[in-house]
């Protein structure tokens, strides 16, 4: 069968695809979103833990993250949906001279790009998070405007808003081909239909490389596995998201926060990375992360964990997203490789993509797109990835 002709077809109804659809529909663009899952947010989005920050080291992430942060923080006031949003801030803690020096070095660029962030000495940081282990604590950076919310509530709210704005969603459809003729996109073929379109947006998360391959393009996105968990709810005791970037046995960092309902939600970054797409939870994660968290905040030893889960981070070689037009196929736009930050960057990427489609990008957008060009030369890693 043939579907009505949209202006844009988006592949992927997740952390990035849904906000893109919302922004496009609000701009008056006819947009259809295609996803192989049965409903929105069933990929990496479902495994996100809900932290939202503008506090990055990469100026492009600061710009896009700031736009996303405004979206989440003002959503309930503007749209009426309770996302369980909490403006609790982010605390990057330093127990070693190495981390202290890194955080101080980043403050200049962070403030230059408009972030509200300060270095807090040991006692000031303990006022924000009094249960931190005090021995050897040197202080840390604190950004009070950052926060967290329920990923499930937020994702559903954005999806509903996109539908109200006029976006069409087609679930249970797997993309099988990107139609190209004369060097430009003509549409998308799925296992259930054909969609003629002037623009195809690749927002397929961990499957983005496979979608690019349908147009005979190579995209440097690779699936990396991370695990997370949630505890029983307890009385409020922790306001900020706490991030410890010290390496530990089998891990590069650990981060956690207390939700509006009282649960502590936590995750760590495996080191070395765990490549693949096996989303089954393991018996290794909980003992590993518990040792790190209890050492960092001894009070946590008494909490009971209710559930663990595993998700995919769509990784790029340098830890930054791939957002931009294809160099070889006119009308193909990539918005992928968000490296586990798709939830927090999604709304900002959505409005950026809408401006790209409409040809109304700004000078700041141009700088972001230069940094995130899909076929750039990769070098280094962002300090706060």
The total of other beta-carbon atoms located within 10 Å of residue 141's CB is: 27
On the CB side of 17, CA atoms within 13 Å amount to 33
**Domains in the chain, CATH or no CATH each:** 8-49+152-220+318-371 (3.50.50.60), 87-146+223-315 (3.30.9.10)
| Residue 380 pLDDT level (bands cut at 50, 70, 90) | confident
For residue 168, give the nearest of 30, 354, 331 by alpha carbon: 30
pLDDT in tens, 338-350: 999 999 999 999 9
DSSP state of 377: P
What pLDDT score does 374 carry? 96
Instruction: Kindly list the distances between the CA atom of residue 180 and the CA atoms of 29, 132, 185, in Å, as whole numbers in the listed order.
Output: 21, 56, 5
Residue with tokens 């409020």: 236
pLDDT for residue 3 is more than 50: no
Cβ burial 81-112 (10 Å sphere, 16+ → b, else e): eebbbbbbbbbbbbbeeebbebbeebeeebee
pLDDT in tens, 283-339: 999 999 999 999 999 999 999 999 999 999 999 999 999 999 999 999 999 999 999
| Residue 5 pLDDT level (bands cut at 50, 70, 90) | low
Return d(Cα 187, Cα 264) in angstroms, integer: 44
pLDDT in tens, 171-207: 999 999 999 999 999 999 999 999 999 999 999 999 9
Could you please report the per-residue DSSP string of 118-162? Answer: EEEEHHHHHHHSTTS--TT--EEEEETT-EE--HHHHHHHHHHHH
Q: Strand, helix or coil at 232?
A: coil
State the pTM of this model: 0.96
pLDDT in tens, 141-174: 999 999 999 999 999 999 999 999 999 999 999 9
């Amino acid at each position: 069968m043939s579907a009505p002709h949209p202006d844009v077809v988006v592949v992927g109804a997740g952390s990035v695809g849904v906000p893109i659809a919302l922004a496009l529909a609000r701009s008056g663009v006819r947009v259809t979103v295609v996803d192989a899952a049965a409903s929105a947010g069933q990929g990496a989005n479902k495994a996100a833990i809900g932290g939202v920050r503008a506090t990055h080291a990469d100026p492009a992430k600061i710009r896009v993250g700031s736009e996303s942060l405004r979206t989440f923080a003002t959503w309930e006031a503007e749209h009426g949906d309770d996302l369980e949003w909490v403006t609790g801030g982010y605390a990057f803690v330093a127990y070693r001279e190495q981390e202290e020096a890194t955080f101080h070095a980043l403050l200049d660029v962070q403030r230059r790009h408009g972030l509200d962030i300060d270095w807090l000495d040991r006692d000031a940081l303990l006022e924000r998070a009094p249960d931190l282990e005090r021995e050897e604590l040197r202080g840390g950076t604190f950004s009070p405007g950052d926060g967290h919310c329920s990923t499930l509530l937020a994702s559903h709210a954005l999806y509903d808003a996109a539908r109200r704005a006029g976006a069409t969603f087609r679930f249970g459809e797997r993309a099988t081909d990107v139609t190209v003729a004369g060097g430009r996109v003509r549409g998308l073929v799925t296992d259930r239909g054909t969609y003629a379109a002037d623009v195809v947006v690749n927002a397929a998360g961990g499957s983005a490389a496979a979608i690019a391959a349908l147009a005979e393009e190579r995209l440097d996105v690779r699936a990396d596995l991370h695990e997370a968990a949630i505890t029983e709810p307890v009385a409020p005791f922790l306001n900020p998201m706490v991030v410890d970037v010290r390496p530990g046995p089998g891990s590069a960092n650990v981060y956690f926060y207390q939700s509006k309902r009282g649960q502590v939600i936590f995750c760590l970054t495996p080191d070395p990375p765990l490549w693949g797409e096996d989303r089954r939870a393991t018996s290794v994660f909980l003992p590993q992360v518990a040792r790190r968290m209890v050492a960092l905040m001894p009070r946590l030893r008494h909490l009971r964990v209710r559930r663990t889960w595993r998700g995919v981070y769509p990784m790029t070689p340098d830890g930054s997203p791939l957002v931009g037009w294809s160099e070889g196929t006119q009308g193909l736009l990539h918005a992928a490789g968000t490296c586990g930050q798709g939830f927090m960057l999604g709304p900002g990427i959505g409005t950026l993509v809408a401006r790209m489609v409409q040809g109304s990008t700004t000078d700041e957008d141009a700088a972001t797109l230069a940094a995130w060009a899909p076929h750039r030369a990769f070098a280094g890693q962002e300090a706060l990835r």
